[in-house]
Amino acid sequence: MPEAKTTLLFLLTAIAEIVGCYLPYLWLRQGKSIWLLIPAALSLTLFAWLLSLHPTAAGRVYAAYGGVYIFVAILWLWLVDGIKPSGWDILGTLVALTGMAIIMFAPRAP
């Protein structure tokens, strides 16, 4: 079950990062309220805190997290931006998630 917990933590971390970056994008590119920077900052703070909860070395977490981030970003593209992912997007996401699983869940010497 630690794999499921780790994966869920990665998903929450990615959502916090994407929200924290998307809100300033709305302000800068779409003329939305500057007040969006406050929840953006809170979301990025949550992102940093969530990264600190991962139970392994930071470098390994950052490397593996990238795969989950790609997955969540492609979901965001589809669900928030309304752009259906291409077959290449899906293939790239599967490759990234495979890399994440290898990095995070490979057997390690004690």
pLDDT tens for 21-75 read 999 999 999 999 999 999 999 999 999 999 888 777 677 788 888 898 999 999 9
3-state DSSP call for residue 80?
A: coil
- What confidence score (pLDDT) does residue 57 get? 67
| 14-to-46, 66, 67, 68 alpha-carbon distances in Å | 10, 9, 10, 7
- What confidence score (pLDDT) does residue 16 get? 96
For residue 37, give every residue at least 6 positions away whose Cβ sits within 8 Å of its Cβ, in sequence order, or none: 23, 24, 27
- What confidence score (pLDDT) does residue 37 get? 97
